[in-house]
Structure 1
Amino acid sequence: MHVRTLTGGLATALVMSFPLLGGQAAAAPSGGTASPPAAARVLTYDASGAAEFKSAVDRGAAIWNESVDAVELRPAASGQRADIRVLADNGWPRALPGSLGKGTVYIGRQAVSQGYNTVRISSHELGHILGLPDRKPGPCSSLMSGSSAGTSCTNPYPNATERAEVEENFAGAASTRTPLPAPRAVPIRD
């Protein structure tokens, strides 16, 4: 009996601490009417012009999909107009946000030739389209610190603050909420 009590207590402790470890809490059904979680806003991207960086762009999109619930980035279907266009060029990486969730990203070869990580660049530039500003200078743990973290930084993941900001930007995104205008009319050059 002591073993069952001990394992039952341990199981309860694990279930209660699971959210603290980054998991989701399991809730017992209640008699009330709980509203279902809001569906993620789906944004499509076209990386056909990303040349040698296409796999880095796909990985950057996957990182955002792993990191947030309110928005999901998917490759655009053939013939579909994408929300986000991703292009490769010989300049410096930059984003041209339109409205929230729409715009153009350039994966510039100049930064890559200087040693910056392509997946970090992709994830960072997609972060601009998701409404995040640059946060320079900043540590490597901040995705939006961009190039100020140096070439040795390869972290492509948004930190907790950045994830929360994107969740807030897209809160209720499945509704008919009007997209926010872009905060700048000029390119965001990283």
Structure 2
Amino acid sequence: MRIRTLTGSLATVLVMSFPLLSGGQAVAAPSGVPEQSLAARVLTYDASGSAEFRSAVDRGAAVWNESVDAVELRPAASGQRADIRVLADNGWPRALPAGLGGGTVYIGRQAVTQGYDTIRISAHELGHILGLPDRKPGPCSSLMSGSSAGTACTNRYPNAAERAEVERNFAGARSGTGGAERTGSAGQAGPVPRAVPVMD
């Protein structure tokens, strides 16, 4: 990162100096143009254990990719250790975060049997891994209102406040890759907190 910045700065100085050396006028670069845009932090997920919910998990990840810029969820490559594991079971949906951007999600069949939307469940549980808490009771317009919005609610997208919170959570952690070292909400590396189940 520092080498790229120095190289970019050196190139700018040379371009600005050349017209002066050859008798021309130097023109300042336009202000407000970032030197380089930051890449999204990539988090990988393994949905191989999500059984019949595999497409719902992929769609829930796509919802977040369409909604925020600071983080991107991608399926893990074969043999790659994933940041997020997604499993199906017969219980209630839940997330076990293991630091920001990592943990295990369960797509529980109990909620699906009761009529809750599988993609909303997936996006909601992934929201916990991205650092969002439950917001219950809440309206259907809030993804993190979860089951409190009722079975008729099929909204799969985070609202503006939820999107902004995820952007803030990952703003300081935009490294371009997931990995074993987790970062806190301020982006500083630190110990991985104990997994705390989030029951929905």
Identity of aligned residues (%): 80
Structure 1 residues 85-107: Cα deviation after superposition (integer angstroms, max 9, x where no partner): 00000000000000100000000
TM superposition score normalised by structure 2:
0.76
Contact 2:103-2:195 within 8 A present in 1 as well: no
Residue 77 and residue 178 in structure 1: after superposition, are their counterparts in 2 closer, same or farther (change >3 A)? closer
Alignment correspondent of 2:101: 101
Equivalences, count: 162
Gaps of 5+ in 1: 1-28
In structure 2, stretches of 5+ residues that fail to align are 1-28, 185-190
What is aligned with 1:137? Answer: 137
CA distance in 2, matches of 1:159, 1:129: 17
Which residue does 2:199 correspond to in 1? 189
Which residue of 1 is the match for residue 68 of structure 2?
A: 68
Distance 2:194 2:135 in 1: 15
Residue 53 of structure 1: SS of its match in structure 2? Answer: helix
State the shift of 1:136 in Å: 0.2
8 A Cα contact 1:139 1:149, kept in partner = yes
**Are 1:154 and 2:175 matched, yes or no?**
no
Whole-angstrom CA distance in 2 between matches of 1:148 and 1:183: 28
Q: In structure 1, how many angstroms separate the alpha carbons of the residues matched to 2:96 and 2:137?
A: 21
Shift of 1:112: 0.1
Q: In the alignment, is the contact (CA less than 8 A) between 2:100 and 2:182 conserved in 1?
A: no
AA matched with 2:76:
A
- TM-score, normalised with respect to structure 1: 0.80
Aligned to 1:10: none
* Superposition CA RMSD, Å: 2.0
Q: Could you tell me which amino acid in structure 1 is paired with residue 198 of structure 2?
A: I
> What is the Cα deviation at residue 183 of structure 1?
7.5
Go from structure 1 to structure 2 and tell me whether the alpha carbon gap of 1:94 and 1:182 turns closer, same or farther (over 3 Å shift).
farther
Q: 1:115 to 1:98 in 2, by over 3 A?
A: same
Q: Does residue 116 of structure 2 align to residue 116 of structure 1?
A: yes
